[in-house]
Amino acid sequence: MINDLPAGLSARHLREDDHLRVLAVLDTWWGGLKAEAGARERALLLPRLYFQHFTTTSFLVEHEDGEVAAFLVGFLSQTDPETAYVHFAGVDPALHGQGVARALYRAFCTLARSHGRRRVHCVTSPENTASQAFHTRLGFTASAVRPHYDGPGLARVTFTLDLTQGTPR
Amino acid sequence: MINDLPAGLSARHLREDDHLRVLAVLDTWWGGLKAEAGARERALLLPRLYFQHFTTTSFLVEHEDGEVAAFLVGFLSQTDPETAYVHFAGVDPALHGQGVARALYRAFCTLARSHGRRRVHCVTSPENTASQAFHTRLGFTASAVRPHYDGPGLARVTFTLDLTQGTPR
């Protein structure tokens, strides 16, 4: 399903019973960022509905022992038949720099293209410079910071990837 | 598009530029519940993506002067071709008891059926007894309270409506 993962990792589509496991690793990976409030915010951004209704374009990467190594939650736009959207992706910090996120995005883009999608959108917070660098390396075009994009005080940088020239390498 | 709305109200599909307007009325309608933290939680539950990518099954009801009167955000499950999902719905408290929420749900169910969906799911918090009573009156079947359903500490009651017998009256 996903090529070029480091040895010992395997990928499959998300399932509903992955939900609490993914929320739990987020708290570890994000290093208790904003502690309780941060955990609550991540839970609200990733309600169970994504693990029920958007599994066919979402992936989980596991270690051989079944521990969560990475995930990507994305969907096909229902409004725009040419657009796909990556809502949330994360990789175990111990695996950073090994191409796991790139492999996940590549798999998502390949799937999106197979559904006739011509572009992928996603957003990140202005503070998340690592995410911005990653998306730019992958070929996404970034917007300027858009204040209050996701609500009052929730600024975002938006990214767009053109799929008509192929998927990221 | 939606029948049986009280005089002076009209409905259309959601648009992207409705996003901040809807978040703003939520703060008014929910009476500043949990104040700042509540506003943040509602914004995280309703990111802009719903107003971009799920507009075709989502509705806005406006007064003649264009003020927001009610809304419903829903989508067709991408995983299960027989399921549709209502993510968030709200009605101006000044309009409660006039059948606006019922009209919105009826419109959503009719649309879901036209896409071959056989059931509608949604969730609410255990504290929201008005929402539970509303869904039960409409014909939804309620679950027991499911602790940690949407994440640690986020209990939910889940609801299912069978569409194979028709849409709610």
Task: Report chain A's terminal Cα–Cα distance, integer Å.
Answer: 16
Of B48, B83, B87, the CB nearest to A150: B48
Mean pLDDT of chain A: 93
> The complex's ipTM?
0.95
Residue A15, SS3 per DSSP: coil
B43 to A150: CB separation less than 8 angstroms, yes or no: yes
Residues in chain B with pLDDT values less than 50: none
pLDDT (0 to 100) of residue B33: 56
pLDDT at position B87 is: 98
Do the Cβ atoms of B20 and A148 come closer than 8 Å? yes
Which residues have a Cβ under 8 Å from the Cβ of A80 and sit 6 or more positions away? B52, B53
pLDDT of A33 higher than 60: no
Residue A124 pairs with which residues in a beta bridge? Answer: A157
Pick A41 or B104 by higher pLDDT.
Answer: B104
What proportion of chain A, given as a percentage, has pLDDT over 70? 96
Q: Which of B40, B56, B79 sits opposite A78 (nearest CB)?
A: B56
* Alpha carbon distances (Å) from A156 to A123, A146, B76, B98: 6, 5, 27, 38
Token digits of residue B27: 């703060």
Q: Which token pair is A127? A: 């503070």
Per residue in A48-105, pLDDT (tens digit) is 999 999 999 999 999 999 999 999 999 999 999 999 999 999 999 999 999 999 999 9
Q: What DSSP element (H or E) covers A70?
A: strand A68-76
Percent of chain A topping pLDDT 90 = 83
- Determine the pLDDT at residue B97: 93
The structure's pTM equals: 0.95
Q: Is B66's Cβ below 8 Å from some Cβ in A? A: no
